[in-house]
């Protein structure tokens, strides 16, 4: 076997062994990489949606906090202008201020002014500090905002105490946000992220979902984790028989926003896992083929620029051994070649002198 053949054989054998190793390791390796990537995708998208929702509600909370500072200094007609401005955002259905006796003193659009709201949770909770009320049906506002509606209006509430200059609580400022806005926000945000979303209440009930939930929530590990307030990212088969990668955000909150007790579950179809895995496999195989071509080109270059001059020296040595007149080429491609050429020159000189 010649050196040239040996080098090519070693290179081909190395590529073959490497290829077999890649084919053995690649499926599990690609599966692991893509699983981690899909899990990270589900978690990132769910967390970003939860943060977007909380920050949007936090804007309303900040408006309410600023109003609470100004309300004690304003006359009712001027206060109503401010309240109307907050209620004009589209998601806020009503905002009002009630004294400590529960009687509404001023409100957006004048709605409920003079009525007693002391039994309402937003009022009783707001007397003691920042308070949030999960989705509930309208009671007093139903007859004023949608008296002929076949379905009850639903709101989520934010409230906080109003204090005077001495720091004494003199009333409660409350805000009602349309639950339809909340549902629309979740649907649009989930669609942009290519995500199925489930908003879970503190009691484990699914308040909103962007897809119909088949089966009981207790059958699904992600929803059980959400009910327990536990973060989780995992792949599982849902009651519809399909596999999904689900991520659980155990609390939807931002800064000083009072907690609604919400947990958010986002899921991504595992079909995307298979597509991503196939893409990774194709990418790695492509890189492997490119590496094999580079190695073969390197072997060819080595043979062309290093071995071929040595082969010429060997041919010269053979001619000299047969007594033929031959002069070795000057070799500068490698130190070994230079030494061999110099040795042949010395041998030739001795033969000539002899």
What is the per-residue pLDDT for 315?
74
pLDDT > 60? residue 353: no
Determine what percent of the chain is predicted with pLDDT higher than 90.
Answer: 59
The rounded distance, in Å, linking the Cα atoms of 102 and 110 is 16
Confidence of residue 37 (pLDDT cuts 50, 70, 90): confident
Chain centroid to CA 273: 14
All structural domains of the chain with their residue ranges:
34-57+194-268, 58-181, 277-353
For residues 311, 313, 317, 318, the Cα torsion angle rounded to the nearest 10 degrees is 30
Q: Which CATH superfamily is domain 58-181 in?
A: PAS domain (3.30.450.20)
**Residue 276 reports pLDDT greater than 90:** no
Rounded to whole angstroms, the Cα distance separating 113 from 101 reads: 13
What's the mean pLDDT in 122-146?
Answer: 95
Q: What is the pLDDT of residue 270?
A: 84
354 has pLDDT over 60: no
**pLDDT, tens only, 167-212:** 999 999 999 999 999 999 999 999 999 999 999 999 999 999 999 9
CB 74 within 8 A of CB 67: no
- For 61-111, write each residue's pLDDT tens digit: 999 999 999 999 999 999 999 999 999 878 999 999 999 999 999 999 999
Dist. CA 106–CA 97, nearest whole Å: 5
User: What pTM was estimated for this model as a whole?
Assistant: 0.74
Element (H or E) spanning 309, and its range? helix 308-321
Phi/psi for 2 (5° steps) reads -80, 165
Does residue 278 carry a pLDDT above 60?
A: yes
Q: Would 34-57+194-268 and 58-181 be classified into the same CATH topology?
A: yes
What kind of architecture, by CATH, is found in domain 34-57+194-268? 2-Layer Sandwich (3.30)
What's the pLDDT at 336? 67
Q: Give residue 235's pLDDT.
A: 92
Instruction: List Cβ neighbours of 181 (8 Å cut-off, separation of 6 or more).
Output: 90, 91
Distance from C-alpha of 324 to C-alpha of 131, rounded to nearest angstrom: 106
């Amino acid at each position: 076997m010649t050196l040239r053949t040996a080098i090519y054989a070693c290179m081909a054998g190395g590529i073959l062994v490497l290829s077999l190793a890649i084919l053995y390791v690649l499926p599990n390796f690609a599966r692991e990489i893509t699983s981690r990537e899909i899990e990270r995708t589900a978690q990132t998208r769910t967390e970003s949606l939860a943060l977007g929702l909380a920050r949007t509600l936090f804007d309303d909370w900040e408006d309410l906090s600023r109003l609470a500072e100004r309300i004690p200094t304003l006359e009712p007609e001027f206060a109503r202008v401010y309240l109307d401005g907050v209620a004009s955002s589209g998601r806020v259905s009503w905002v009002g201020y009630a004294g400590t006796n529960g009687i509404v003193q001023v409100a957006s659009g004048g709605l409920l002014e003079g009525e007693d709201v002391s039994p309402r949770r937003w009022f009783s909770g707001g007397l003691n500090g920042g308070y949030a009320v999960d989705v509930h049906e309208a009671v007093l506002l139903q007859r004023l905002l949608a008296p002929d509606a076949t379905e009850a209006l639903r709101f989520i509430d934010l409230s906080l105490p109003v204090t005077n200059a001495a720091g004494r609580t003199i009333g409660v400022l409350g805000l009602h946000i349309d639950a339809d806005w909340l549902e629309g926000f979740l649907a649009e945000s989930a669609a942009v992220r290519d995500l199925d979303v489930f908003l879970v209440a503190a009691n484990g009930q699914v308040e909103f979902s962007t897809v119909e939930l088949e089966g009981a929530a207790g059958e699904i590990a992600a929803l059980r984790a959400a009910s327990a307030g536990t973060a989780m990212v995992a792949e599982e088969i849902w009651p519809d028989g399909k596999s999904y990668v689900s991520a659980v955000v155990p609390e939807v909150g931002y800064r000083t926003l009072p907690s609604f007790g919400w947990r958010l579950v986002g899921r991504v179809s595992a079909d995307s896992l298979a597509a991503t895995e196939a893409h990774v496999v194709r990418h790695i195989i492509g890189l492997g083929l490119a590496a094999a071509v580079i190695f073969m080109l390197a072997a060819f270059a080595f043979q062309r620029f290093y071995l071929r001059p040595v082969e010429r020296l060997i041919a010269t040595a053979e001619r000299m051994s047969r007594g033929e007149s031959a002069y070795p080429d000057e070799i500068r491609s490698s130190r070994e070649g230079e030494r061999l050429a110099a040795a042949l020159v010395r041998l030739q000189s001795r033969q000539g002198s002899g």
